[in-house]
Amino acid sequence: DQQVKQNSPSLSVQEGRISILNCDYTNSMFDYFLWYKKYPAEGPTFLISISSIKDKNEDGRFTVFLNKSAKHLSLHIVPSQPGDSAVYFCAASTGGGADGLTFGKGTHLIIQP
């Protein structure tokens, strides 16, 4: 039962170019979405989030786009830097109270010099 899907296990991008990571969800009750970055042997680090009332949120090099009708969100990183190489997780919640996050399986982003 994959309510949050990240269909690309890995993605390779050249340094300086745009990285686009995609995420789809099936649960229409989700109304808050987050992206986390994770290095090996560390916990997930919060990157950026978006509420369902918005379709875009930007923070420096990171922009998240939400298409509610398609139940799809994407994370854009521009320009990509070597330190961006990590596993990126998409997560979602229904936004109520102490709701646990539902995570995707992650996309391993590799930034090539």
Partner 1 sequence: EPEVTQTPSHQVTQMGQEVILRCVPISNHLYFYWYRQILGQKVEFLVSFYNNEISEKSEIFDDQFSVERPDGSNFTLKIRSTKLEDSAMYFCASNIAGGDYEQYFGPGTRLTVT
Interacting residues with partner 1 (CB under 8 A) = 31-32, 34, 36, 41-46, 49, 51, 89, 91, 93, 95-106
CB of 14 to partner 1, least distance (A): 28
Nearer to partner 1, 77 or 104 (CB): 104
Q: What is the dihedral of CA 51, 57, 62, 66, to 10 degrees?
A: 60
Dist. CA 63–CA 79, nearest whole Å? 11
Dist. CA 48–CA 32, nearest whole Å? 11
CB of 92 to partner 1, least distance (A): 11
Nearer to partner 1, 79 or 103 (CB): 103
CB of 85 to partner 1, least distance (A): 19
CB of 98 to partner 1, least distance (A): 4
Dist. CA 108–CA 19, nearest whole Å? 11
Please, what sign has the CA dihedral across residues 62, 91, 26, 54?
Answer: negative
Q: To which H or E segment does residue 36 belong?
A: strand 32-38
Nearer to partner 1, 99 or 110 (CB): 99
